[in-house]
Amino acid sequence: MAVINNRNFLLLLRLIVGGVFIWAAVTKIADPLAFAQDVRNYRLVGQTLSFLTAIVLPWVELIAGICLIIGVFPRSSALLISGLLVFFIVLVAVTMLRGIDVDCGCFGTFSRKADLWLILEDSVWLALSLVLLFSPANDFCLLKRSPKTS
């Protein structure tokens, strides 16, 4: 597992994963009404929760992506991103099982169908974020805890 302990590789992963989440967030923030409709199309929540999700979720993605890139609580950011990806994977799988054909809403107007390929792609992103979460060398960060002294 030499690659996982390579700090440069981990920094590159953080830039890529964080960048994808920033890009996804910005496209949703730019058109919250369209994203609210994308959320509503999944038929899991009503109109009010769709609007609330469209306002809150993109900002969570943006903050997590920025924090991951700049190194503010990188493990917490990787954990949050991993949790979001697990949720997205389950959401798409359940939607497919229900026979609902929707656009994923992942990247605003650049979104595509919520299908098996999206689940596979999100699974790759999940694997990368889990590498960041569990790698012992992922310690480049702006805010570090000081070692405890006894």
Tell me the average pLDDT across 96-124. 87
Q: 70-94, pLDDT tens digit by residue?
A: 988 888 999 999 999 999 999 999 9
How many residues belong to the chain?
A: 150
pLDDT in tens, 118-130: 999 999 999 999 9
pLDDT band for position 2 (50/70/90)?
very low
Every domain of the chain and the residues it spans: 7-134
Which three-class secondary structure string do you get for the chain? CCCCCCHHHHHHHHHHHHHHHHHHHHHHHHCHHHHHHHHHHCCCCCHHHHHHHHHHHHHHHHHHHHHHHHCCCHHHHHHHHHHHHHHHHHHHHHHHHCCCCCECCCCHHHCCECCHHHHHHHHHHHHHHHHHHHCCCCCCCCCCCCCCCC
- Is the pLDDT at 25 greater than 80? The verdict is yes
Q: What percent of the chain has pLDDT over 90?
A: 67
- Residue that the structure tokens 């967030």 belong to: 25
